[in-house]
Structure 1
Amino acid sequence: MAKYSCSVNRCRIMHSTLVLLGLFMAIFLKPTGAQVGVCYGMMANNLPPKPEVIALFQQKNIRRIRLYDPNQEALQALGGTNIKVMLGVPNEPDLQNLAASQANADQWVQNNVRKYSNVNFQYIAVGNEVKPTDPYARFLFPAMKNIHNAIVGAGLGDRIKVSTATFFGAIEVSYPPSHGKFHSDYQKLLSPVINFLKANQVPILVNIYPYFSHMENPEQVPLNYALFTSPSIVVNDGPFQYQYLFDAMVDAFYSALEKVDGGSLNIVVSESGWPSQGGTATSLENARTYNTKLVQHVNQGTPKRPGPIETYLFAMFDERNKEPEYEKHWGLFFPSKQEKYPINLN
């Protein structure tokens, strides 16, 4: 027994060391939660002033924002806030202009990024949901390359990632998720983009909406499967089981990426949400249920890719200038800044 005994002082020192080690592990080794942001669309003429909106982000402790264009007032208001920013490059007319020359891209970065040195830019999203049939589709990849070169040239390449936001419409086969496959025309459009993202170790941004899958096919896509309320497994796919449609959609996209040698990419969900009125299965309760459960669920990831998923809820406000009717009602807040329903985004 005496062989393993210690003095009182030695035991105290050992105890203190173990306590400190435990605190270190608790602080630094605990799993990191998902990084949740909110999209700030501005297609309405009754929204609050930009500084008030950014103040609302801070008040609600929303730490990430997606802007669809470099709105100067919003960028000024974001200065010094530490809110991480996904800044969009609009499809028209910007893609063609930025693809035309490196000088144009350099100027865009100077005007919209370097000018705001106290804004915490995280991503530049070059284009949103570009379709192969769009007249500007052929400018997508050249514009991305030029913006990337401009970011690197500005000495910001280690801080700001250049990507693009695509959407689930690019997928031709989604069931079961392991059979996920791109439409051939989207594969052609996205192939150079995927290679570029791989080479630069940048995630691909994907807009994921279980709502639309249910709206378009309510008989085959049950509401509870889309709303994160299914009580049991809905889809068995080899070693993976799917209780929620969101997981199946994300994993189908991963499967499609794998089939074009893009399996090393990570997906950032750049939009997801549920409208509160105006269409099939729309209500305040359904919107609250989907968004609340989404925030909770993205902490654990999907069957194919466990782990937190960076996700952006759509959207901060209702946007009454959009069509059709259900497109007007995705906001977490009314234009009055009143919360539609309580939700904890952290």
Structure 2
Amino acid sequence: MATFIGRIAFLHALLIFSFSLSGYGFLRGVESLGINYGQVGNNLPPPERVLELLQSFKLTKARIYDTNPQILTAFSNSGIELIVTVENQILGELRDPQQALQWVSTRIKPYFPATRITGIAVGNEVFTGGDMTIMANLLPAMVSIHGALVRLGLDPYIQVSTPSSLAVLSESYPPSAGCFTSELAGIMPQYLQFLANTKAPFWINAYPYFAYNDDPNGISLNYALLNPNSGMIDPYTKLHYDNMLYAQVDAVIFAAARMGFGGLEVRVSETGWPSKGDTNEVGATIENAAIYNRNLLRRQLAKEGTPLRPNNRLEVYLFALFNEDLKPGPTSERNYGLFQPDETMVYNVGLSALSSTSVDLFIDLFSDFFSYHFSNLLSHPGNTIAPPIYYRY
């Protein structure tokens, strides 16, 4: 009875704060949170069912790894913002402006604006893929695709960028030491200039899991999982970091600043944690995956920015929507999904709390959210968030 009364009292408090909660995104979905919708599986639901799944959890942004016409058609008039991808292997063709114009005219224009395409990812992790030919084709293809968007009047609505892995950095610790590898010294300034000219973001695939797996004895699991912890203070900026993801993002910002582009926006195009792995994949457990993604959702609900840019909400795309059984590589690669192909949850990350019909989960996530931030406050009672700092070198 006491538990029941306590939950009723807590629900009453939720109702009192309902207006402020809507500001945190509970009632509208999380505006800065997207999901990566991969299709490397032979048992995935059709796009129409995927759309219903996204809508049921109030997810309003998604990224796909091609321009699948079935998906583009299914997502028509749904309001979901969609990033599409140019596959690495066709970048050589699209460096030709005429080929790029034909590609945009047939792959993008027929679906827009009914399908709300907001970005084109030109390739994926090209800078660190090891194929010098594809890398040489990347920037010309981006320029040609953007030129085609301009010609068709679509450039105000659709951004052009390319997702990069964190391996583009030679240094990332502390964040203020962030710098790009010497191998990219020729192309990176041109790429950053393109982003600045077109007002497009730098997309980074950031996975604290990889760093922890490589050095589980040297890296705190709580720091990697976004759990409350003492964190670290950057010795040069004196900024406090309580999680690795934000440190990785700020390292990219510093690396861009070193090349004179400190004003670029950085967005996380992929991040996640595998729920299963091989015996040598340390930390790849369902418990850790649930903790990481649940903590990330809490921070998204709080509209957090990084310590370097606390007033700029960080846009993040979770990897991934489904476990994909045909992905090559270690076991972890097939186990990043929040959902099984039959649409059941791999684990409860708290997305159900975004549904107005899920009162219990709503209460649980609200309780966890405030417990989390209260524990952080107790850990750092004198900690204040510094204003944004932009360094140019």
Which residue is equivalent to 2:47?
A: 50
Consecutive unaligned residues in structure 1, runs of 5 or more: 1-25
Tell me, in whole angstroms, the C-alpha distance in 2 between the residues paired with 1:188 and 1:332: 39
Structure-2 residue corresponding to 1:338: 344
1:69 shift after superposition: 0.4
Shift of the 303–184 alpha-carbon distance from structure 1 to 2, 3 Å rule, reads same
- Equivalent residue for 1:70? 67
* 2:175 and 2:250 in contact (8 A); partners too: yes
2:241 aligns with: 242
Residues 291 and 349 in structure 2, CA contact (< 8 A), matched pair in contact too: no
SS at structure 1 position matched to 2:185: helix
Answering whether residue 124 of structure 2 is matched by residue 121 of structure 1, we say no
For residues 8-28 of structure 1, give each alpha carbon's deviation from its aligned partner in whole angstroms, at most 9, with x where no partner exists: xxxxxxxxxxxxxxxxxx89x
1:34 positional shift: 5.2
Give me the whole-angstrom Cα distance separating, in 2, the residues matched to 1:42 and 1:191. Answer: 33
Query: Residue 275 of structure 2 corresponds to which residue in structure 1?
Result: 276
Report whether the alignment pairs 1:222 with 2:235: no
CA offset at residue 236 of structure 1?
A: 3.6
Residues 256-302 of structure 1 deviation map (CA, whole Å, 9 limit, x = unaligned) = 01001111100110000000011311222211110111122242111
Amino acid at match of 1:303: P
Select 1:303's aligned residue among 285, 302, 307. 307
Moved more, 31-40 or 192-201: 31-40
Structure 1 match to 2:361: none
SS in 1 for 2:48: helix
Identify the residue that residue 4 of structure 1 maps to in structure 2: none
User: Which residue number corresponds to residue 315 of structure 1?
Assistant: 320
The CA distance in 2 between the partners of 1:270 and 1:248, in whole Å, is 16
Distance 1:75 1:200 in 2: 25
In 2, the alpha carbon distance for the partners of 1:72 and 1:34 equals 25
Secondary structure of the structure 2 residue equivalent to 1:286: helix
| Aligned equivalents of 1:292, 1:111: Cα separation in 2 | 39
Q: TM-score, normalised by structure 1?
A: 0.88
Structure 2: gaps (5+ residues): 1-18, 355-393
Matches within 5 A, 1:29-40: 35-40=32-37
Greater than 6 Å deviation, 4+ residue runs = 30-33
User: Which residue pairs with 2:289 in the alignment?
Assistant: 287
- Counterpart for residue 177 of structure 2: 179
Give the Å deviation of 1:167. 1.5
Shift of 1:192: 1.0
Identity, in percent, stands at 36
Distance 2:56 2:225 in 1: 28
Aligned-pair CA distance for 1:66: 0.3
> Which secondary structure does the structure 2 equivalent of 1:124 belong to?
strand
- Does the 8 Å contact 2:34/2:62 carry over to 1? yes
Tell me how far apart the structure 2 counterparts of residues 110 and 56 of structure 1 sit (CA, whole Å).
Answer: 30
Residue 110 (str. 1) matches residue 105 (str. 2): yes
CA distance in 1, matches of 2:239, 2:31: 21
CA distance in 1, matches of 2:31, 2:66: 25
- Report the AA paired with residue 316 of structure 2: T
Structure 1 distance, partners of 2:49, 2:231, is: 43
For the 8 Å contact 2:166–2:206, the answer to whether it is kept is: yes
What is the number of residues matched between the two proteins? Answer: 317
- Per the alignment, residue 253 of structure 2 pairs with 254
Q: Distance in 1 between matches of 2:350 and 2:262?
A: 32
1:295 aligned counterpart, secondary structure: helix
Which is worse superposed, 50-59 or 138-147? 50-59
- DSSP 3-state at the match of 1:136: helix
The residue identity in structure 1 corresponding to 2:220 is P
CA drift at 1:336: 0.5
Distance 1:295 1:189, change over 3 A: farther
Contact conserved, 1:34 with 1:309, CA < 8 A, in 2? Answer: no
What is the alpha-carbon distance in structure 2 between the residues aligned to residue 70 and residue 286 of structure 1? 32
Structure whose CA Rg is larger = 1
> 1:241: Cα distance to partner?
1.1
Q: In angstroms, what is the RMSD of aligned CA positions? A: 1.7
- Alignment TM-score, normalising by the size of structure 2: 0.77
How far off is 1:199 after superposition? Answer: 1.0
C-alpha contact (below 8 Å) 1:167/1:208 kept by paired residues:
yes
Q: Deviations over 1:19-61 (max 9, x none)?
A: xxxxxxx89xx68865101000111111111221122111221
* Mean Cα deviation higher: 291-300 or 323-332: 291-300
Residue 207 of structure 1 contacts residue 272 of structure 1 at CA under 8 Å; is this kept in 2?
A: yes
